[in-house]
Amino acid sequence: MDVGVPSVRNLFRIKGERTLLWIVIGLTSIPLHLLYNAAVYTSVAGNDFVVTVVTNNHFEPGAYSNMTEALNGYFEMPFNALAVGRYGYPNFPLFSGVLEGYNVNTSSYEDLTASECTKLYNTDYVSSHRNLFLITNHSSNTTHSNTILDMIHVGNLGISPSSWMCAYYQAGEARVYLEPAFPCNPSELTSNVMKGIPWQVNLTTGEEVGISGCKSEKTGEKCRVRFMLNIMIVVICCNFVKACCMVMTVVRSREPTLVTLGDAVDSFLRAPDRTTMGICFADRRYIKREWTRGGWRAVPKQWKQKGVQRWWTSVSKVRWITCTFFSSIIAIAAGVSLRWGMDYEGQYWSTDIKSMWARGFGKANSVALVNLWFRTTTQSILTANSPQTILAFLYLTYNSLFTCMLQGHEWSLFSHQHRPLRVTSPRLGQRFTYWLQLPYTYAIPLMTLSGLLHWLTSQSLFLAMIEVSDPLGKDDPVVMAGVGFSCIAIIFVLTLGLLALLTVTGMGYKQFAAETTTVGSCSAAISAACHVWGVDPEEIVGKKLRWGDVGIAPTLGVRHLTFSSEEVVRKPVFGEVYAGTGNDWK
């Protein structure tokens, strides 16, 4: 069995009740990782809006503005076949409603300069403002017989809605199906306008006009904090089941536990295991290769270990391969996702580190959305949180590597000097175990690493809930549940994950404190090292112990390796023959 580390092998050796409790606690952890992050979440509000280009005398009393004529002319243009959206075609009622709304309630509009206008509308989801009038430098005359020069509808459900500022004629909802005719960077245009460069707009008629100012409709913010009752019920039920399992474990557990290395040593010293007598030199590899096969014969054996072993030898190959394999798979998947995301964002935005940092962690936008169709919010939630479950499993394997190596280090300290046993339930002369199983200098950084990786992963792939309101503010918002991604957060996950792998690899090259058997977490190897002679085990378990060469066994004529509280203990001698106690080996 494995002592002191999580082990599936142990499930087949313990009571059925404990196995069932372990399985229940494990299964109830899966819904928590998949759903807990989405129990409470925020939605992003965005307003569809109408952009109306007008002459500079449009708002003057008595200015000629034949709305019907202007709109009829607009709908006769071939471009507007693309304007078919969720409002139907033609959009005459929508556009006329916007113009009439301005006439009825002009107090809700505010005057903006061209730079203020570009800065305000250079965002994917405009939530504080809505419909917009662009005021040109032209006045109504023979060339411009109508103060209304153009009208377009800008939707939030397309890709990069703010691109209408520099690709004006592509601003319809159907843009989501089109490739940009030329590179369009609204941020660059905003920066230029704020520097004093004139803002030029190409109308759908092909004419280019300059914008001198704007009038923008103010609206109330509609961002919400949402609460999903069904998910919270599942979370509460899972935690309740976990709590019941913990209570049952505490109430029904009465027998001594083998949780730490000290627990095992204490138990084997008090009640020696006869099956491991005669092999005091045994390490984890010897137990696996010879002892477990049966029919073995305990004979004295030379000590051939020369020099101090490294920490990685206390970890089994299966644990190393499992952790490395799954970490590599996740790293490759994250790397491919990052490349795909940067290529996709590069069609619309800059993909340098500064630009990606400005877009932030876990922020929903129109470009960085997974191109999948989710029928329900639950599908989006499960997709966004699926990496959390995989990450939790990987952390368990990563933690077990440190646990095995530190347990091997603790074992080697017994060969270096006299030390008290660290046990779960200490008696006089013994030490209490660490509250987090590992020394705090390792346990706290590992817990911090786990929390940071889970948080960064939640910012890399996240639920994006968007509520879009119509330009008139009359209809119920259209709610879109999707999955967003953040390239800069993925970069941080990859960087931190690779550093974690390099750290555990570097730790593996540290040397143990002294020459000793590499028992790892193997209970049989620990047992083989705990056969004492000439003393009462009850007298030494509460004292400081050291493992090593205790001299020649009187009945054998060969030297013996075991624990002792005496000062005569020394390290094993290379080439010396060692064997077990009494006449127990044959």
> Which pLDDT does position 151 carry in this prediction?
82
Whether the CB-CB separation of 331 and 497 falls below 8 Å is answered with: yes
Per-residue confidence at 584, pLDDT binned at 50, 70, 90? very low
Per-residue confidence at 412, pLDDT binned at 50, 70, 90? very high
Instruction: Name the CA dihedral angle for 458, 459, 463, 466, rounded to a multiple of 10 degrees.
Output: 160
How far is CA 342 from each of CA 130, 132, 384, 486, rounded to the nearest angstrom? 31, 32, 19, 10
- Angle between helix 261-270 and 377-416 (nearest 10): 50
> Which pLDDT does position 267 carry in this prediction?
92
Round to whole Å and give the CA distance between 315 and 310.
Answer: 10
Short-list 345, 153, 253, 279, CA closest to 584: 279
Please tell me whether the peptide bond between 198 and the residue prior to it is cis, using omega within 30 degrees of 0: no
Per-residue confidence at 294, pLDDT binned at 50, 70, 90? low
> Which pLDDT does position 449 carry in this prediction?
93
> Which pLDDT does position 411 carry in this prediction?
92
182 φ/ψ angles, rounded to the nearest 5 degrees: -155, 160
Per-residue confidence at 221, pLDDT binned at 50, 70, 90? confident
Per-residue confidence at 102, pLDDT binned at 50, 70, 90? confident
Please write the tens of the pLDDT for every residue from 108-137: 889 999 899 989 988 888 888 989 999 988
> Which pLDDT does position 142 carry in this prediction?
56
The number of CA neighbours under 13 Å toward the Cβ of 486 is 24
Per-residue confidence at 174, pLDDT binned at 50, 70, 90? very low
Which of 21-30, 87-96, 394-403 comes out lowest in average pLDDT? 87-96
pTM: 0.80
Per-residue confidence at 181, pLDDT binned at 50, 70, 90? very low
Per-residue confidence at 426, pLDDT binned at 50, 70, 90? confident
Please write the tens of the pLDDT for every residue from 235-279: 999 999 999 999 998 888 777 788 889 999 999 999 988 888 888
